[in-house]
Amino acid sequence: MIMMRSWIYTILFEIWTVIMSVGGLPLLATPKTTLIVIRNWAHGVQFLARTIVGITYRVEGREHIPAGPCIIAAQHQSSFETYRLFIEADRPIFVLKKELIRIPFIGWYIGRAGLVPIDRQGHASALRKMLRSAEAAAARGGQIIIFPEGTRVPPGQRHEYLPGVAGLYSHLKIPLVPMALNSGYFWGKTRVRKDPGEIVFRFLPPLPPGLSREAMLAELRTRIESAAAELAPKDRAR
């Protein structure tokens, strides 16, 4: 039954995505209207997840997100958080690999709504370019969203943090908000199967600007991993 519902969700997700991608093309005129399309699409995705596969959603600690510019350093276990963070942040600016912009329709919306592209093969020059783009976005009041591990990592596994989060923190000198979650227990990295349950995002108290690179990275990992352990479903094991 779970697999049947998961396949129904997947098919309807694709249909909904095509409808919104094509129907929203006239709204690509401005970043503001583009974001409206993305948020409506994301709400539709969550409606399908809730009604078909029984996945609900809850957020904790939203009060820790500053009204102005900040960095949100989020765990990344599934595609769900990418959708939802477009809703949670007032002015979301994602740091994502530049290849995503080339994806028809989806890439157009991501790029138009606000994206700090990073070339993973560009090394130091790519990092400098990313920092310049992020600085301009922060100056406009954007909330920079980055996945420190750079890829989706299943619950219980650990991946080294990439240089991007430390570079942003040192360069922008704005608060850094850690975010833990448990989406990987229900919404797998690549699998079709979606298990019923409650996905929780937990925004944690921000790290103030000025910490050393080592101190910031250690505190960021400690806070995220401690919160993630608390969010793990008691009846689930991987």
Share of the chain above pLDDT 90, in %: 73
Buried b (16+ CB within 10 A) or exposed e, 101-129: eeeeeebbbbbbbbbbbbeeeeeeebbeb
Matching residue, tokens 């937990």: 202
**CB contact at 8 A, 148 and 73:** yes
pLDDT for the residue 238: 45
* Residue 96: strand pairing partners: 117
- For position 188, what pLDDT does the model report? 80
Check pLDDT > 90 for residue 113: no
CA atoms within 13 A on the CB side of 148: 26
Is the alpha carbon torsion for 153, 103, 139, 28 positive or negative? negative
pLDDT tens-digit series, residues 142-151: 999 999 998 8
The residues spanned by each domain of the chain are 2-231
The tens digit of pLDDT for each residue in 165-208 reads: 999 999 999 999 999 999 999 998 778 999 999 999 999 999 99
With contact defined as beta carbons under 8 Å apart, do 117 and 78 qualify? no
Write down the architecture of domain 2-231 according to CATH.
Answer: 3-Layer(aba) Sandwich (3.40)
Let me know if 69 is exposed, middle or buried by CB neighbors in 10 A (0-12, 13-18, 19+).
buried
Mean pLDDT of the chain: 91
**152 pLDDT higher than 60:** yes
Residue 122's pLDDT band, with cuts at 50, 70 and 90, is low
Is the pLDDT score of 132 beyond 80?
yes
Q: Which residue has the higher pLDDT, 117 or 77?
A: 77
pLDDT at 105: 74
Please write the tens of the pLDDT for every residue from 34-92: 999 999 999 999 999 999 999 999 999 999 999 899 999 999 999 999 889 999 999 99
